[in-house]
Each structure stands twice: as structure tokens, then as C-alpha cells.
Amino acid sequence: MTLNVVILAAGKGTRMRSDLPKVLHPIAQKPMVQHVIDTAKCLGSNTTNLVYGYGGNKLQSAIKDESLNWVLQAEQLGTGHAVAQANDLIADEDTVLILYGDVPLIQTQTLDALLAVKPKQGLAILTVNLDNPTGYGRIVRKNEKVVGIVEQKDANSDQLAIQEVNTGIMALPGKQLKTWLSQLSSDNAQGEYYLTDVIAMAHRDGVEITTAQPQSAIEVEGANNRIQLAQLERAYQLREADKLMLAGANLRDPNRIDIRGNVSVGMDVMIDINTIFEGKVEIGNNVNIGAGAIIINSTIADNAVIKPYSIIDNAVVGEDASAGPFARLRPGAELKQDAHVGNFVEMKKSVLGKGSKAGHLTYLGDAQIGEKVNIGAGTITCNYDGVNKSLTQIDDGAFIGSNSSLVAPVEIGKMATIGAGSVVTAKVEDEQLAVARGKQRNLNDWKRPSKK
């Protein structure tokens, strides 16, 4: 089978009350249409055509994908008209799958099931049964066979009572599709060319029509306003939360987690409330992630602990290591095995060695720190001179006293000690004590300022 996907994404989305094209509004921080494009790729489509209209420049700026064929629908005259714009890109032997850029939760397995029931020379429609089908085109059957679809505004009272509705998603043979599209009429309540009219044409021509249904109705729901967008967001997040729990994670509350990328977890992972995961995140076994943590494109190894309200951004947390609460690991930060950073410690492009610790109120930037190093509160690696970034190297077993400033480039030797409050500008050799601070003076006749 040669699969040719046509994604309809030309609508303005007036009810969104936004200058942004509707399909660019995000679910899990990714445009709705990008979800659909990614799903099409998972199907192994040979060709993917994106039919666009309103906000085309914004759409092309946001969706960078060389594999897409961009098809302009200059006037929005209905779904049938939209698909017809891709006629020149459809071969007779293709199976054409119609998808929608504002229906982001459709799953690969649902579309696989639809394609599986499609007759070789026939077509297949994805339908769903709704308790309240208002607004949807109804599936009209005779002797249990699909004979057509009638839109809400064109339906009579008997047809309005039908609960099986059209989702708009269908798979059709390329040759017949092009023939049927050329026969569409806009003689209806909306004055548009309905794609759904091809179903009646297929029945007229004796073409076999089959149906499939999604596992859940939410898969085929679209977003026409921000309320519906928020509902899809929550449904997506619950679906992702289910995946984590099935993989071995214990979520304190599946309703209070946000996944905006791809997260993999090991066994016996504990994730507290209001956590956010972005990009590619890999979490090992027996990891504990505290409330309010934000983890972005990072790796968390076995037995690590991320305490509440910490930000782990493009960083690595090693086995048995811990960060937080209120720690921030910026890009290039790495905690080796059993290392620890505490509250209000920030790391950037630095490695904290095995068993080393920085308990609180510290900035470690462009630093290579060895094993079993203790870094006191208020320590700063002064890595930036206003023009260049320089390295601070702290060797195994060193002790850095509180409120020290290490002015890079500088090296602190093994088992060296830095006295509290020191400003270190030159190399400290192994096992040396460095005290770099002004001599204390106590003045007897000094008087405090008085209020004027």
C-alpha cells in the first residue's frame, strides 16, 4: 500500500480569538498540527501534504519539516475543496488518508485499525458514537451498510436522532477520490463543498464502505476555542500520565503533572504533584521527584532524589545523587554519584564529583570539581570577566570555606582548604590553607549614624 496523507490545516479559528492560526495553538507545548504530522510519520506515510491557508507564513515558520508538501487553499470553501487542492500530488494507486490539523490526540493504533479495515478498492470511515451528537455529521445506514453522511444543518428530524457520527477521518482510493471530488456541489446550507458527500457517491458507485472506531472519543475531538483546547490538554496529560504509571512510576496525583515531550521511567519511581517534564527526559529506577520540580532534556540515574521546586535543565544527575530543594542545574551541569547540591545552589557547565556537596547558596559555573569536596555556603566561582568565561578546577578532598570567591582561571589542589570569606585569585597547592581576606580592625570610638 502506498499511503498518501492529506492534513487539512487551512482554517483561521475565529473562536480562538487569536492572530495565531488555529492549528498552531499548542497541546503539551507543541502545535496541534505537529502532533498530527508526527502521527502521520509513525504510520510510515510515503507522502504527507499539509493544506494551509490563513497565516501561512506563521505556519511555515513554526513547522520546519522538509518532508511536507505545502498545499495552499487560497479560499476556504469547505473540506472537499481543501482536499481537492492536493489532487496533483495524489496518484491513482494511492491510499489517501484524510487527517485534521486541529485534532491532535488521534493515535497511531486507531489509524492503523482504520487502514486495516479499508477494502482494497473501497473506503473506510472513522466514526464514533456520542450521547450528544449535536454539531456532527450523522452516519446514515441502510441494512447496516453506510450509504452516506448528512451534516447537522442539512439533517431531518430522524437523521438528527442518529448517534453514530462522522469524525472526518477517512481512507480512500486515490483514483476514485479524485473523480468524486470533481463531482462535488456547494448546493447546501453552508454553500461549501463537503468532503462527506463522497460517501454517498461511493455508495452510488457500488464501492464498499467500512468503518472503524477509536478507543476513546477524545481522540477525534477538535479544538475550536480555548476551552476545548484546555480540555484536550488535560486529556493528553492524563494519557501520558497513564503511560508513566504503566511503566513503573507512582504519581501522587495524575491530574497534576505536565509532560511536554518524551519521558521514560524505570521501576518504583515516585513523582509528586505539579511536576513538569519537557523535551527528552530519562529517569532511572527508584528515583524520587519532589513537588513542583521542572526537568528539561535531562537524565536522572537510579536512586537519585530531586527535591521540591528544583529545576534540572539539560543536565545529568548521577546515581544516589540529590538536588534541592530550590536547586537549579543549568545546561552542562552534572552531579556524579552520591553528589549533592542543596537549596539555592546553581550550577552551569560544571561537574560536581563523586561524594562532593554544595549545601546552599552557591554558584558553580564553568567548574570541574573532584571527589569528596565540600563547598561552603555563599561560594561563587567567578567564571566571567565581562568578556571571557574561564575554568575553576577544584581537586579531590578540598574544603572551600563559606562566602569564598574563586576568581577563574584558578586551581585548588587536593585536600587544600580555603578560609571562609576569601577571594582566591591564584593557584592553591595540595594540602595548603589559603586565607585571602583583609585584616580585621575593631574601632572603639565609632558611632552609628542617627536619623536626621
141 is in an annotated binding site: no
35 is catalytic: no
SS3 state at 337: coil
Q: Identify the DSSP state of 439.
A: P
442 is in an annotated binding site: no
236 is in an annotated binding site: no
SS3 state at 235: helix
9 is in an annotated binding site: yes
Distances (CA, A) of 351 to 296, 300, 369: 18, 15, 6
SS3 state at 329: strand
Which of these, 447, 70, 10, 28, lies nearest to 237 by C-alpha position?
28
151 is in an annotated binding site: yes
73 is in an annotated binding site: yes
258 is in an annotated binding site: no
Contact yes or no for 330/315 (Cβ under 8 A): yes
- Grid cell at residue 238: 492524563
262 is in an annotated binding site: no
365 is in an annotated binding site: no
143 is in an annotated binding site: no
332 is in an annotated binding site: no
377 is in an annotated binding site: yes
Q: How wide is the angle at C-alpha 129 spanned by C-alphas 24 and 78, nearest 5°?
A: 45
Distance CA 412, CA 80 (A): 72
11 is in an annotated binding site: yes
405 is in an annotated binding site: no
Distance CA 223, CA 103 (A): 7
SS3 state at 382: strand
Choice among 25, 81, 340, 360 that is catalytic: 360
52 is in an annotated binding site: no
SS3 state at 197: helix
87 is in an annotated binding site: no
Which of these, 394, 409, 331, 383, lies nearest to 357 by C-alpha position?
394
333 is in an annotated binding site: no
22 is in an annotated binding site: yes
One DSSP character per residue, 383-450 reads -B-SS-B--EEE-TT-EE-TT-EEESSEEE-TT-EE-TT-EE-S-B-TT-EE--SPPP---SS-----
Distance CA 33, CA 20 (A): 13
Distance CA 153, CA 40 (A): 31
Which of these, 270, 264, 235, 228, lies nearest to 249 by C-alpha position?
270
Helix (H), strand (E) at residue 251: strand 249-251
286 is in an annotated binding site: no
Residue 400's DSSP bridge partners are: 375, 418
Active site residues: 360
- Residues making up the annotated binding site are 8-11, 22, 73, 78-79, 100-102, 137, 151, 166, 224, 330, 348, 363, 374, 377, 383-384, 402, 420, 437
- Residues making up the annotated binding site for UDP-N-acetyl-alpha-D-glucosamine are 8-11, 22, 73, 78-79, 100-102, 137, 151, 166, 224, 330, 348, 363, 374
- Residues making up the annotated binding site for Mg(2+) are 102, 224
- Residues making up the annotated binding site for acetyl-CoA are 377, 383-384, 402, 420, 437
